[in-house]
């Protein structure tokens, strides 16, 4: 799935070193913070992270971030990565916990 700063799953290709995100070969713009969230989740597949875990890992300088900061970042990433953002297969919500990254079975 990942080698030397590159992650690939489904139709998604992410080059973290170049900060490039592609879906079906087409480049999709993403912010620095979106790349940080992706990197953290992809480096820890299947692991469930609370919002606080993600805030500490990705936004460590912010003691108190707005309540929906993580949710907003995940929502934006789902629109960029998922074929159907309303039914995600990669960035999943874990009820009463938070989020996890799930690579597909074929990856």
For 47-57, what is each residue's pLDDT tens digit?
999 988 898 88
Residue 104 predicted with pLDDT over 90: no
Q: With CA atoms as reference, report the closest residue to 88 among 17, 27, 9, 18.
A: 9
State pLDDT tens for residues 9-37: 989 999 999 999 999 999 999 999 899 99
Q: How many domains does the chain have?
A: 1
pLDDT at 65: 60
Domain extent, residue 63, equals 2-101
Is residue 72 a part of any domain in this protein?
A: yes
Q: Which of 5, 4, 9, 8 is nearest to 19 (CA)?
A: 5
Which bin fits 24, alpha (ψ -120 to 50), beta or left (φ > 0)? left
Asked whether residue 33 is domain-assigned, the answer is: yes
Q: pTM for the full model? A: 0.85
Looking at residue 40, which CATH number applies to its domain? 1.10.10.10
Residues 6+ apart with CB under 8 A from 14: 6, 7, 8, 20, 21, 22, 35, 38, 42
48 found inside a domain: yes
Domain annotation covers residue 106: no
Q: Which pLDDT band, with edges at 50, 70 and 90, does 79 fall under?
A: very high
């Amino acid at each position: 799935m990942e080698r030397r700063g590159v992650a690939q799953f489904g139709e998604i290709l992410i080059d973290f070193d170049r900060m490039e995100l592609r879906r079906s070969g087409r480049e999709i713009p993403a912010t620095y913070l979106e790349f940080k969230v992706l990197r953290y989740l992809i480096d820890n597949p299947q692991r469930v992270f609370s919002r606080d875990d993600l805030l500490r890992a990705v936004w460590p300088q912010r003691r108190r971030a707005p309540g929906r900061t993580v949710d907003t970042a995940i929502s934006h990433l789902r629109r960029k990565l998922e074929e159907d953002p309303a039914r995600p297969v990669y960035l999943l919500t874990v009820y009463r916990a938070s989020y996890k990254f799930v690579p597909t079975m074929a990856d």
